[in-house]
Structure 1
Amino acid sequence: MPAIAQAGETASADARTGVQQLIRADLDDQDLERLSLEELSMVEVTSVSRRPEVLADAAAAIFVISAEDIRRSGATSLPEVLRLAPNLNVQRVNSVDYAISARGFNGYETSNKLLVLVDGRSVYSTLSSGVFWDARDIMLEDIDRIEVISGPGGALYGSNAMNGVINIISRPAGDTQGTLISAGAGNEDARLAIRHGGSFGDNGAWRAYLQAFARDESLDAAGNGANDDADGLRGGGRVDWTSGDNRLTLQGDAFENEVAVNEDTLGTQTYVRGANLLGRWVRPLAGGELQAQAYYDRFEREEPGTLEESDTWDLSIQQAFERGRHQLVLGAGHRVVESAFTAAPGGAFLDPAERRLTLTNVFVQDQITLTAGLTLTLGAKFEDNSFSGQEFLPNVRLGWHRPGGDLLWASVGRASRTPNRIERDLTLPGFLTGADFQSETATAYEIGYRANPTPEIAFSINAFYNVYDDLRTVSITPVTFLPLSLTNNGEATTWGVEAWGSYDVSERWRLSAGVSTLTKDYDAPLTPDDISGLISIGDDPEYQVLLRSEADLTDSLELDVRLRAVDDLAATDGYVEADVRLGWRMTDRLELSLTGQNLIEDSRYETGDPLRRRAFGRSVFAALRASF
């Protein structure tokens, strides 16, 4: 553990260590809603260092969405849950599609610098580098927590962890025993989820689930239905068991959704299908912990005349251990993606239509205790990919635990986004040709402060300055003008502040607030080197503010109110919206709730993309959750 947990330090540090040990010992048996802010700061996270550490020790801009936060949000989909994170910008594009980013570059075509993991499985698309959120309809009741890191994660996670990492961690099978039924319906959404879990032997547990959703259409610019209603079905399960010192996990999912083509309002149907299977083995080794993981992921998106297919195989291994003042994490991984794209006749296509992509990496991180309370973290990842070859992604972090337990930290790191298939292979004869597109890169400077000055108050403040090179541009061919090609002639800098905190007014009432600001500096004239005006920079608000109130009106009645204010986009007005949830916990096993979303404005837009300009209005959703 960091030096603050070592013997011989101040009495306040000893008390803090005692709290850590208490939380670690009893966390699995506690209901997170009963934890104080001080106790919540001691909840273990794994995303910052790829090993368990308490949130208060994590030298990064990390926000944790707990299972209790998800339950009390009233959200019906994963992207809506992510609105709880003040260090993310969430733009809803249509009925099921979203653009989500950290620290800028948001937009359906440009939000390609954020790595999303589901239990260690990467879900970004090698076709576009973005995330198809309509295919990530995870059963929300099975999520243990979501760790949201804003800032570069290249030294540990490599490709696509350029502006941040979202790590979605599901609950162990042992925590989901018995039967759960969650059902709800409203004027825009309907959802049904059924899960059952059990045990086998003395050391094994399992669960299986099935869920379905239906979502109503959004509105076009004239206020008419946009014909983008959607529905889907997903099922899967998880098995956890132990054998001696070995801990083993096997889990998987399969799904099929019917949605609509995003660019028009004709209701042209798209079928999105997929399946995955993941296995993980963990055991103590050499005074630390060895983890090996492998997964297979199949994804299909079928539109009239086009079919995208990808098959991903991934194998990774890591070892975490301590040697004196050093806490080390070593790892390596190899990924193979079989990608195929069948294009409609007469339009743009990928040349070649099929590719095998590989991604190989090794990484090391060492957290060194320099003095009591002062730690230095050195990390680096070496990565080799099929398109741009070798990448070196270093990171340096310095953390200082001041007397009293607050944390001051600073970091500098390099991250990159490797090319995707569109950037290398997209071809339209006579107009656009595949090019030698290389990785986009960023050098990020961060400083942060996290504190829990009293048992009733906790907050985190982070500032960043990012320098981007080799951003995507569109260039002409000299003399002939056409064909165009995608090139790396863009540069930009961004800076801003992220802050969030909570205040326990009483044992029954908690207030939380979050704010993020973003300023972008880039030169985007229409030149032969970039006739797009650096459109890849995205469309971001300069600020957003989130306010939240969680009140237990009685022992069984809950009232949750959330406000969000989002600044203007380039061609879209900002907005202020409110969500309100009233929950009635009739018994420990039966809950009713009523949630109203987007209650202030009749309708609003969240994106400035003219091809995907959809409006969203007020909605009401009634839900029942029963377990037995």
Structure 2
Amino acid sequence: MRRRAVGGVAAAALIAAAGPALAEPTSVEAATPPQGAGPMDQDLTRLSLEELAMVQVTSVSRRPEALADAAAAIFVISADDIRRSGATSLPEVLRLAPNLNVQRVNAGDYAISARGFNGFETSNKLLVLIDGRSVYSTLQSGVFWDGRTIMLEDIERIEVLGGPGGTLFGANAVNGVINVITRSPAETQGGLVQAGVGSEDNTLSLRYGGAVGESVVWRAYLSAFERDDSFRETGEEAADSTSGVRGGARVEWSGESDRVTLQGEIFDNQVRTNEDFTGTRTRVDGGHVRALWARDLAGGQLQVTGYYDHFGVTEPGLKERTYTTDVMVQHAFTLGQRHQIVWGGGFRRVKAALYSDFSSGLVPPERRLSLANLFVQDQIALGDAVTLTVGAKFEENSFTGSEFLPSVRLSWRQGAGALLWGAVSRASRTPNRIERDLTLPGFLEGGDFQSEALTAYEVGYRATPSPSTSLSISAFYNAYDDLRTVASDPASFLPLRFANGGEGTTYGVEAWGSWDVNDRWRLSAGAAWLEKDFQVEAGATDISGLASIGHDPRYQVQLRSEADLTDSLELDVRVRAVDALDRSDVEGFIEADARLGWRITDRLELAITGQNLIGDLRLETADPVRRRAFGRSVQASLRASF
């Protein structure tokens, strides 16, 4: 796990020199209650492609708009997609998004990125939000996926935004945003039991929702999981099994013009350190409480959101604790006939501490970090078919001071539901504690590492040419400056320090589409192609060999078939092909997953899912220390509501 990279300091220095990074993201909340699937007897009904085009999304403009009108490369994973995938964890669900690259590292850890820079220590340019709560680590700019064991049955939709989101979401929304939105308690009334038993994963989820009068709805849940060991490259078990339990509740009160949401949860996971295959137990625990007040105003809505989050890691010789307090205010309104404006601001305070029994580590071991921001965006109707969107965010952070993140988008609505759009945006990734505070006396010293910067150019086209077909295609060109390098002392070579000596470009194409062959059969396809060109800036040095750019496949392709064989039988098959990882010895692969579901009634479903059905063992990551192999697995599951 990445925490051990810091705990075992010498290894951390080189892997940090080759990899880690962190920053402080911003929060976002869907501007309206979740739209779409409802109770279980409804979410078994697949939406038509025309209905999917009208699903409300919030990640592009921070206010509800139809997916068909969103001027960005955004892919939506619905609740029904999640159910029919047979996935047992959030990272596995994210494989459904063709604009993401998902690399499984070991039994519990993943590296997930958009448009490059993937790797266990380098996937630091993707902002991840769960109901508006950022789940980035304040130690490095990545997500500790082994602590994000969200109850999948509660997810309303996942919006995967490819490209910068800095104007609305701030620093670290560089190459994309994953926005996980869970259901309102009004959509989860009654009881639900989900249980799965398999060769690799065992899962159990219990949920019950009710109402108090006509204005208050609530739900409470408890979930648990066990995940078996991954494998060494030679085939032996890697002693990295994980398990955990999570519980929480959510209450909503709705008045004539107001809505109040209160929610909270706690979790306690047991994972294993497996860099040396010893299987050392590590506890990953934490929880959060969150509150939202929304008031409908004439022509708009006012929101105030706040949360408190605790995340902890405890293992022999190492203890990490992070306490985050965040508050955000947002006002969305319409001005005249042409302007749709959203503006607001937020403040975040983080107490981050890492205590180690080793002789070196983070200096100081404890820091208090802050992030303040103001943002504004205006969607301007230039005519019946053309919309200009301009926006900017101003941020102030503890490490680098002020950041200015502007964007301009232009969209042209054409006939037959087609949308042509283009965008120019600036985004940045602010430093993290490892880049600023990691100290190894005589070898590595903390420095003045500054923000990495991106200027992105995008064009795209989205259409539903007929009621049975949909497609989306986008192209991008990204220019990066001040990327992380590891510089040596010009006189004595040591000590090393983190520097901003890298630069380069990426460009590529992302495309996906669906075809309803008939009322019972849908075919979908998605593909992504990526080219990279990076170098060290003139006059700079980098002893890590530009390790911070990660290891990415040049292309990936997926095909999905969702078929209702009868009124009660479903067959879902997904095939994915991933190219070899650049600058590594990790080969490309072709894999297939399949799920057979039997809908006994609208409230009772049995399913069997097979994953990785083609190859015996395969690698997905080039991480030199943690990479593990994965093989075939099968799981039988039951889902019942009452």
- Normalising by structure 2, report the TM-score: 0.93
Q: Is 2:352 the partner of 1:339?
A: yes
Q: Which has the larger displacement, 527-536 or 99-108? A: 527-536
Greater shift, 337-346 or 88-97, is seen at 337-346
Corresponding residue of 2:189:
177
CA distance in 2, matches of 1:262, 1:297: 27
Structure 1 residue 179 displacement after superposition: 0.8
Written as runs of structure 1 = structure 2, the 5 A alignment for 1:36-55 is 36-55=48-67
How much has 1:311 moved relative to structure 2? 0.2
Q: Give the secondary-structure state (helix, strand or coil) at the position aligned to 1:546.
A: strand
Query: How many Å separate the matches in 2 of 1:265 and 1:113?
Result: 30
Q: Runs of 5+ in structure 1 lacking a partner?
A: 1-23
State the match for 2:514 in structure 1. 502
SS of equivalent to 2:382: strand
Counterpart of 1:359 in structure 2 is 371
Matching residue's letter, 1:530: D
| Offset at residue 263 of structure 1 (A) | 2.6
Q: CA deviation at 1:403?
A: 2.1
The alignment of Structure 1 onto Structure 2 pairs a total of residues equal to 604
Percent of pairs identical after alignment?
A: 65
- Gap runs ≥5 in structure 2: 1-33
The answer (yes or no) to whether the contact 1:472–1:487 under 8 Å persists in 2 is yes
1:237-248 equivalences under 5 Å are 237-248=249-260
The amino acid of 2:308's aligned partner reads Y
SS at match of 1:315: strand
Query: Of residues 100, 113, 120 in structure 2, which corresponds to 1:88?
Result: 100
Alpha-carbon distance in 2 for matches of 1:534, 1:508: 49
Give the aligned partner of residue 5 of structure 2.
none
Alpha-carbon distance in 2 for matches of 1:329, 1:262: 47
Whichever residue aligns with residue 301 of structure 1, its letter is V
Confirm whether residue 584 of structure 1 aligns to residue 598 of structure 2: yes
Distance 2:623 2:536 in 1: 18
Distance 1:364 1:25, change over 3 A: closer
Counterpart code for 1:434? G
Note the C-alpha offset of 1:31. 4.1
Instruction: Judge conservation of contact 1:525–1:533 (CA < 8 Å) in 2.
Output: no
Following TM superposition, by how much is the alpha carbon of 1:244 offset from its aligned partner in structure 2, in angstroms? 2.8
Q: In the superposition, relative to structure 1, how do residues 26 and 251 fare at CA in structure 2: closer, same or farther (>3 Å)?
A: closer
Residue of structure 1 equivalent to 2:278? 266
Three-state SS of the structure 2 residue aligned to 1:79 is helix
Instruction: Note if contact 1:93-1:108 (Cα within 8 Å) is conserved in structure 2.
Output: yes
Give me the whole-angstrom Cα distance separating, in 2, the residues matched to 1:430 and 1:115: 34
Offset of 1:489 from its aligned partner?
0.6
Counterpart in the other structure of 2:611 = 597
1:484 and 2:496 correspond: yes
Q: 1:65 aligns to what?
A: 77
Residue 27 of structure 2 corresponds to none
Structure 2 counterpart of 1:576, one-letter code: I
Equivalence for 1:9: none
Whether 2:181 is the aligned partner of 1:163: answer: no
2:553 is equivalent to residue 541 of structure 1: yes
Q: CA deviation at 1:74?
A: 0.2
CA contact (8 A) 2:503 2:536 kept: no
- With 300-309 and 258-267 compared, the bigger mean Cα shift is at 258-267
Q: How does 1:4-403 map to 2 (within 5 A)?
A: 31=43, 33-324=45-336, 325-346=338-359, 348-403=360-415
Give distance in 2, aligned partners of 1:559 and 1:526.
Answer: 56
- CA distance in 2: counterparts of 1:265 and 1:92, whole angstroms: 17
Is the CA contact (8 Å cut-off) linking 2:268 and 2:284 kept in structure 1? Answer: yes
> Counterpart of 2:446 in structure 1: which amino acid?
G
How many Å separate the matches in 2 of 1:99 and 1:524?
25
Alignment of 1:456-535 (within 5 A): 456-523=468-535, 529-535=541-547
In the aligned structure 2, how far is the partner of 1:474 from the partner of 1:286?
54
2:229 is aligned with what amino acid?
A: E
Following the alignment from structure 1 to structure 2, what is the Cα–Cα distance between the partners of residues 528 and 184?
53
Q: What letter matches 2:401 in structure 1?
A: G
| Higher relative contact order, structure no. (Cα contacts within 8 Å, ≥ 6 residues apart) | 2
Conserved? CA contact 2:502–2:537, under 8 Å:
no
Any idea what the Cα deviations from partners look like across 1:442-494, whole Å, max 9, x if unmatched?
00000000000011100000000000011010001121111100011110100
The answer as to 2:422 corresponding to 1:438 is: no
- State the distance in 1 between where 2:157 and 2:194 align: 19
Tell me the TM-score normalised to structure 1 length: 0.95
- 1:13 corresponds in structure 2 to none
Question: Following TM superposition, by how much is the alpha carbon of 1:523 offset from its aligned partner in structure 2, in angstroms?
Answer: 1.9
Per-residue deviation, 1:344: 2.5
Query: Residue 370 of structure 1: CA displacement?
Result: 0.3
Aligned partners of 1:589 and 1:250: how far apart in 2? 28
